[in-house]
Amino acid sequence: MADKIIKWNDRILTFNNKIISKGIIAPPPPTYPTLGLVERWDFATLTGLNGITWSKVTGTDNLQSGGPGSFGCIYFDKSTYYICASASIATAIKSNHAFSISMWINSVSGDNTYIGVMGDPCGDQGTYFPVMISYNSPKLLWSIWDTGTGDFHFTADDVFGLSSWVHFVGTYDGTNLAGYVNAVSSIAPVACTRSIDSGGLGIGHASFGSPGTFKGKLALMYLYDRVLSQSDANQLYNYGIGV
């Protein structure tokens, strides 16, 4: 007779209807969405799950422990930023193409200026590019920027308590910008008529007018070539906090 399935019920584990364990049985660990995943960086190293590496432009490598949950993070001291010019990045973030970015942000800057978290690293990768900016006041801006005529963006107000971790998912479906802060979608999608032309992506700095470079920490950065859903945002948030 074939073996019966192992059963987990009311903290009792049975096999072939025989009790083999009692007590608290830990549930499986949380996971993150993998559909459409281009790359995942947990910042234990500068190389991602699929082998795409961040290259330092200036400053020093500052990989640290102390990220959300039990994960590592990368620290920026306003002199360090990185560029990733992988073909996979350029393909994922291209004209009228759906993509999403997920990351944890811990801003410690109190400067009265724009602070570039992510975006076009050098100002020479094309006119249109995605950019994420934090203000000195606790706001976050998710934008498709056109250096000639302005930008299409939304701001998530009052999301940063300085020196605290905040999870952000930014999405673009080729028509609309949308986002989630700590897995909550409290911002109506913003129509965006810009297309994206990016040969690279930077973290710690963004060529957006004259922003300051970022001071703070980033952790668990994911790039997807699709629009993430509310369920995806929930899953990524729970994965970061270990729930």
The predicted structure's pLDDT at residue 141: 75
Q: What share of the chain has pLDDT > 70, as a percent? A: 63
Name which of 9-13, 41-45, 167-171, 239-243 the model is least confident about: 9-13
Q: Are residues 46 and 24 in the same domain?
A: no
Is pLDDT at 42 greater than 90 in this prediction?
A: yes
The predicted structure's pLDDT at residue 212: 66
Tell me the pLDDT band of 154, cut-offs 50, 70 and 90.
Answer: low
Q: Are residues 9 and 63 in the same domain?
A: no
What does pTM read for this prediction?
A: 0.81
The predicted structure's pLDDT at residue 127: 45
Q: Are residues 82 and 202 in the same domain?
A: yes
Report the CATH number at residue 237.
Answer: 2.60.120.200
Q: Are residues 227 and 155 in the same domain?
A: yes
Residue 22: domain span:
1-30
Q: Are residues 2 and 85 in the same domain?
A: no
Q: Are residues 26 and 41 in the same domain?
A: no
Q: Are residues 60 and 97 in the same domain?
A: yes
Q: Are residues 154 and 169 in the same domain?
A: yes
Q: Are residues 143 and 121 in the same domain?
A: yes
With beta carbons less than 8 A apart as the criterion, state whether 240 and 220 touch: yes
* Mean pLDDT for the stretch of residues 216-221: 92
> If you average pLDDT over every residue of the chain, what do you get?
77
pLDDT digits (tens, 9 = 90+) for 79-132: 888 888 788 888 888 766 788 999 998 887 656 566 778 877 655 444 455 667
Q: Are residues 157 and 232 in the same domain?
A: yes
Q: Are residues 151 and 198 in the same domain?
A: yes
* Mean pLDDT for the stretch of residues 51-79: 89
Q: Are residues 224 and 142 in the same domain?
A: yes
Q: Report the number of distinct structural domains present in the chain.
A: 2
